C-alpha cells in the first residue's frame, strides 16, 4: 500500500495498518528503481534499513514507540558524517572515507527511530546547482529525464519526489534545498542559520550552510524539522533558542500580510513561471491575505556578495583535504609520487578535487589575497549588512515574503555545465535568504509543459513556524504538491 | 576589472593544475570576477562591528578518543600510531 505523505504513513503505522518493514521494503524498491532511471543514490543501505525497520516494529509491538518518525524511511544527502558508513560528499577525494563519528542531525534522526534507506547525490561538496559536479554523475529530473533535478540537493529532491522514502535531508548554502525542491515538485525548507546543527555536516561555506528537510508537504517538513532543530553544544553557531511546535493547526490566510518584492519579478523571469506565482498570489488574496509590494533594493547585489563570501570560506574549508590525514591521497595511490610536503598537497588536491570546487577555491583565494581583501571581501560583508537590514525593515510591515523560487524551469543536462556564471545565476532568487541568514521555503505552485514550478516563501529570523503554517494553509487549498512523477 | 593570476593562485591554493586546465580556469574565473566587480557600485559603507555578533567559546576540556584505530585507518601514511608527513623541504636536508 502506498502512502503519499509522511503524515499518512505515520498514521497508518500508529493504526496498525502497516509495518515499518512493509514501508521500508516498498521505499527501497522505489529507491532502487528510481536510481536506475535517475542516478540519485550514492549508497543504498538495504540490509541496515531493513534491520532498523524491524527494530522499529519491535518497539511498536512493545509499546515503546519514540515519536512520529519512528519507522519512517528517509534518505540522507551524502554530505553528513555517518559513523562506520562511507561518506563521500560526492567527491573523489572522500570516496575512501569512513567517518569515525556521526553528525548531530544523523544522531537525532537515529534517536527518532527514522529508517535511513541510504545516501543521495549532491554536487561535489554541495558546490553546484544541478548535481552535475558530482563524482557520481548527474541526477536526472523525475519529470523529464533529459533535464537536471537541480542542486545541490538534487538527489534529495528527486528521492522525495518519487517516494524513495517519505522525506530527505538536504542542505542549503545558496538555494540548494529550495531550487531542487522547485524543480522536482517537492516542498523544502531552509531554516534560519543556526537552527539546525552543522556539526558533522561537511562544510562548504560555514557562515551560510544550513540543513533542512525536503518532503511532499509542509506538514511533513514540520514533523522532520521538529526532530532535527535545536541547540547543539558541539557547534558554536547553533542557536540556543527554544524550538517551538512546528506542526501547524488549521491555519487561515485571512489577514496574513504577504509582501511581494518587485526585485524578484524582473528581467529574466520566465513568463509562465511568473504566471504560476501570480496565480498563487491571487489565491492568497482571495483567501483574505493582504498583498503589498515591498522593495529590497540591495537584492541585485546579493549574488555577487554570495560569490565572494562563499568561495572565501570554501578556500579555507577545503584546505583540510590535503592528502595527509584522511581521504584520497597521492601518497596512497602513487607511493613516491610526491617528494616533499607541498607536492603531497598540490598533487592530491589537483588529482582528486573536481573542477568546480577547484574554481571556487581559486576564486576564494583571490578575493582574500593581499590587495583584494578590502575591495572584495570587506565590501561584500558591508553589502551583506545592507541586505539583512532591508529584510528586517520589510518584516516590520509583512508576515512573509512571496517570490518565485527560480527564474526558469528545470534546464537540460549539460546546458550550463561549461558556463559557471550561467550556473551561478541559477541561485539569483534564493541566495539573498542565505546572505541574510533567514528561513526560506519552496512550495509547489503549478506546472508548465509538465515541468514543476515552485514559489518561495521567506520569513523573518526564526520564523519557520509561520512559514510552515502559511505553506500548509496554501497546500490545504491546492493540489500541485500531490502530483507524482512516473518513473 | 581585475584579471586573475591563475598560476600564482594555484600555488597559494596548493593545487597542481595541468596547463590546459589553468588556461580554461583563467577564462572562466575572469568572467566570474567581472560579475562580482559590480559590487563596487553598491552603496554600502564598511561593516560595523556591532552587528549582533558575539563570541562563543567552547569549554576547554581534554577528550580521549576511544576510536583512534578507526581514525588512523583512514590516514594514507602512518607509523607507530602517528601520521607520517613528508618533509616541508628536502633542500633543508630532512628525509621523507
Spatial CB neighbours of B11, under 8 Å, sequence gap ≥ 6: A346
Min distance B59 CA to chain A CA atoms (Å) = 10
Rounded mean pLDDT, A228-237: 95
Average pLDDT, chain A: 96
List of residues 6+ apart from A363 with CB closer than 8 A: A307, A311, A315, B29, B32, B33
Most A CBs within 10 Å: which of B5, B8, B14, as the mutation test of the A interface? B14
The pLDDT of residue A3 is 79
DSSP, residue by residue, A322-379 = SSSSSS--HHHHSTTS-SSHHHHHHHHHHHHS-HHHHHHHHHHHHHHSTTTTIIIIIH
Distance, in Å, from the CA atom of A387 to the CA atom of A357, rounded to the nearest integer, reads 26
Query: Residue B1: what pLDDT?
Result: 46
Task: Tell me how crowded residue A457 is: count the other CB atoms within 10 A of its CB.
Answer: 28
The answer, yes or no, to whether residue B91 has pLDDT greater than 70, is no
CA distances from A73 to A66, A111, A158 (A): 15, 14, 15
A29-38, A216-225, A452-461, B16-25: segment of lowest average pLDDT: B16-25
> B93 versus A472: which is more confidently predicted?
A472
Query: What is the per-residue pLDDT across A97-147, written as a single tens digit (0 to 9) for each?
Result: 999 999 999 999 999 999 999 999 999 999 999 999 999 999 999 999 999
Residue-level pLDDT at B51: 59
Q: Which three cell numbers stand for residue A180?
A: 531542487
Tell me whether residues A362 and B31 touch, CB distance under 8 A: no
Residues 429-468 of A with CB under 8 A from B: none
Tens-digit pLDDT profile for residues A338-364: 989 999 999 999 999 999 999 999 999
Radius of gyration of chain A (CA): 21
Contact B31 A420 (CB under 8 A): yes
A386 contacts B42? CB cut-off 8 A:
yes
Tell me whether A293 touches chain B (CB under 8 Å): no
From chain B, pick out residues whose CB is under 8 angstroms from the CB of A375: 40
The answer on pLDDT for B94 being more than 50 is: no
DSSP assignment of A35-102: HHHH--EEEE-HHHHHHHHHHHHHHHHHT---STTTT-EEEEETTB-BTTB---TT-TTTTT---SS-
The answer to whether the Cβ–Cβ distance between B86 and A341 falls below 8 Å is yes
Q: What angle do CA A389, A435, A471 make, to 5 degrees?
A: 90
pLDDT above 60: residue A422: yes
More confident residue, B24 or A259: A259
Does the beta carbon of A340 lie under 8 angstroms from any beta carbon of chain B?
Answer: yes
Please provide the distance, in angstroms rounded to a whole number, between the alpha carbons at the two ends of chain A.
Answer: 18
Q: Find, among A105, A225, A175, A177, the residue nearest to A465 by Cα.
A: A225
Are A340 and B71 a contacting pair at CB < 8 A? no
Amino acid A444: pLDDT: 98
Question: Distance between CA atoms of A485 and B18, rounded to whole angstroms?
Answer: 43
Q: For residue A336, what pLDDT is reported?
A: 85
- B79 shares contact with chain A (CB less than 8 Å): no
- For A344, the closest of B6, B39, B86 (CB atoms) is B86
pLDDT above 50 (res A445)? yes
Query: Residue B66 — very low, low, confident or very high, per pLDDT cuts 50/70/90?
Result: confident
Q: Which residue of B has its CA nearest to A382?
A: B47
User: Closest to A326 (Cβ–Cβ): which among B45, B75, B90?
Assistant: B75
pLDDT attached to residue A113: 98
DSSP assignment, residue B92? G
Model confidence band, residue B89 (pLDDT cutoffs 50, 70, 90)? confident
What is the domain-level CATH number for residue A129?
Answer: 3.90.1300.10
Q: Are the C-beta atoms of A22 and A32 separated by less than 8 Å?
A: no
Give residue-wise pLDDT tens across range A308-330. Answer: 999 999 999 999 999 999 999 99
Cα-Cα-Cα-Cα torsion A32, A448, A213, A485, nearest 10 degrees, comes to -20
pLDDT at A233: 93
Q: How confident is the model at residue A26 (pLDDT cuts 50, 70, 90)?
A: very high
pLDDT at A34 over 90: yes
Identify the pLDDT of residue B59.
82
Annotated catalytic residues of A are 77, 152, 176
CB A214 within 8 A of CB A177: yes
Model confidence at B52, in pLDDT bands (50, 70, 90)? low
The answer to whether residue B96 scores a pLDDT higher than 60 is no
Domain count, chain A: 1
Of residues A98, A384, A421, nearest to B31 (C-beta): A421
| Average confidence score pLDDT of chain B | 82
pLDDT at residue B54 tops 90: no
Confidence label for A370 from pLDDT (cuts 50, 70 and 90): confident
Q: The cell 539573498 sits on which residue?
A: A432
Q: How far is CA A15 from the centre of its chain?
A: 32
Q: In chain B, what are the domain boundaries?
A: 6-41
A402-418: pLDDT as tens digits: 999 999 999 999 999 88
The yes-or-no verdict on residue B58 having pLDDT over 70 is yes
Task: Give the pLDDT score at A429.
Answer: 97
Is residue B46 predicted with pLDDT exceeding 70? Answer: no
Distances from the Cα of A113 to the Cα of A58, A68, A86, A134, angstroms: 11, 9, 21, 30
Query: Is the ipTM of this structure higher than 0.95?
Result: no
Per DSSP, the three-state class of A190 is strand
In eight-state DSSP terms, residue A249 is -
pLDDT at A365: 96
In the 3-class helix/strand/coil scheme, how is A113-142 assigned residue by residue? CCEEEEEECCCHHHCCCCCCCCCCCCCEEC
Reference A465, options A264, A241, A260, A279; nearest CA is A241
- Domain membership of residue A486 as a residue range: 1-487
Q: Give the Cα separation of A400 and A357 in Å (integer).
A: 34
Amino acid at each position: 500500500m502506498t502512502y503519499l505523505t509522511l503524515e499518512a504513513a505515520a498514521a497508518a503505522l500508529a493504526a496498525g495498518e502497516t509495518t515499518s518493514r512493509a514501508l521500508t521494503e516498498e521505499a527501497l524498491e522505489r529507491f532502487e528503481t528510481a536510481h536506475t532511471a535517475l542516478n540519485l543514490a550514492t549508497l543504498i543501505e538495504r540490509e541496515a534499513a531493513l534491520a532498523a525497520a524491524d527494530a522499529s516494529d519491535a518497539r511498536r509491538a512493545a509499546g515503546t514507540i519514540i515519536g512520529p518518525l519512528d519507522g519512517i524511511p528517509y534518505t540522507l544527502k551524502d554530505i553528513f558524517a555517518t559513523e562506520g558508513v562511507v561518506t563521500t560528499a560526492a567527491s573523489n577525494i572522500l570516496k575512501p572515507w569512513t567517518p569515525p563519528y556521526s553528525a548531530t542531525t544523523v544522531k537525532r534522526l537515529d534517536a527518532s527511530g527514522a529508517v535511513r534507506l541510504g545516501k543521495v547525490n549532491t554536487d561535489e561538496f554541495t558546490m553546484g546547482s544541478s548535481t552535475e559536479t558530482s563524482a557520481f554523475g548527474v541526477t536526472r529530473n523525475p519529470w523529464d529525464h533529459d533535464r537536471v533535478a537541480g542542486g545541490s540537493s538534487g538527489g534529495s529532491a528527486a528521492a522525495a519526489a518519487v517516494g524513495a522514502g517519505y522525506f530527505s535531508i538536504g542542505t542549503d548554502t545558496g538555494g540548494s534545498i529550495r531550487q531542487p525542491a522547485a524543480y522536482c515538485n517537492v516542498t523544502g525548507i531552509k531554516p534560519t542559520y543556526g537552527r539546525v546543527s552543522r556539526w558533522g555536516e561537511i562544510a562548504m561555506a560555514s557562515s551560510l550552510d544550513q540543513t533542512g528537510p525536503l518532503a511532499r508537504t509542509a506538514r511533513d517538513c514540520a514533523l522532520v524539522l521538529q526532530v532535527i532543530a535545536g541547540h547543539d553544544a558541539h557547534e558554536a553557531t547553533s542557536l540556543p533558542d527554544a524550538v517551538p511546535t512546528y506542526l501547524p493547526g488549521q491555519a487561515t490566510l485571512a489577514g496574513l500580510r504577504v509582501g511581494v518584492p518587485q526585485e524578484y519579478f524582473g528581467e529574466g523571469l520566465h513568463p509562465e513561471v511568473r504566471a504560476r506565482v501570480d496565480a498563487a498570489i491571487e489565491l492568497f488574496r482571495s483567501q483574505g491575505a493582504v498583498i503589498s509590494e515591498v522593495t529590497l533594493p540591495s537584492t541585485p547585489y546579493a549574488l555577487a556578495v554570495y560569490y565572494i563570501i562563499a568561495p572565501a570560506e570554501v578556500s579555507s574549508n577545503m584546505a583540510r583535504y590535503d592528502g595527509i590525514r584522511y581521504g584520497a591521497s597521492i601518497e596512497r595511490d602513487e607511493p613516491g609520487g610526491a617528494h616533499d610536503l607541498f607536492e603531497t598537497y598540490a598533487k592530491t588536491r589537483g588529482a582528486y578535487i573536481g573542477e568546480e570546487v577547484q574554481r571556487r577555491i581559486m576564486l576564494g583565494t583571490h578575493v582574500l589575497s593581499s590587495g583584494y581583501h578590502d575591495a572584495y571581501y570587506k565590501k561584500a560583508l558591508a553589502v551583506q549588512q545592507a541586505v539583512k537590514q532591508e529584510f528586517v525593515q520589510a518584516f516590520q510591515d509583512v508576515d512573509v515574503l512571496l517570490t518565485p523560487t527560480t527564474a526558469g524551469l528545470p534546464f537540460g543536462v549539460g546546458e550550463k555545465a561549461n558556463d559557471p556564471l550561467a550556473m551561478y545565476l541559477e541561485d539569483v532568487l534564493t541566495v539573498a535568504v542565505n546572505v541574510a541568514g533567514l528561513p526560506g521555503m519552496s512550495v509547489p505552485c503549478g506546472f508548465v509543459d509538465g515541468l514543476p514550478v515552485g514559489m518561495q516563501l521567506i520569513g523573518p529570523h526564526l520564523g519557520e513556524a509561520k512559514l510552515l503554517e502559511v505553506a500548509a494553509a496554501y497546500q490545504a487549498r491546492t493540489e500541485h504538491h500531490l502530483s507524482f512523477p512516473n518513473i | 576589472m581585475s584579471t586573475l593570476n591563475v598560476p600564482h593562485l594555484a600555488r597559494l591554493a596548493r593545487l597542481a593544475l595541468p596547463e590546459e586546465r589553468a588556461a580554461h580556469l583563467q577564462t572562466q574565473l575572469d568572467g566570474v570576477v567581472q560579475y562580482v566587480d559590480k559590487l563596487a557600485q553598491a552603496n554600502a559603507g564598511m561593516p560595523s562591528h556591532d552587528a549582533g555578533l558575539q563570541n562563543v567559546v567552547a569549554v576547554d576540556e581534554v577528550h580521549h578518543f576511544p576510536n583512534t584505530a578507526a581514525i588512523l585507518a583512514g590516514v594514507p601514511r602512518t607509523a607507530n600510531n602517528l601520521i607520517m608527513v613528508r618533509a616541508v623541504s628536502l633542500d633543508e636536508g630532512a628525509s621523507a
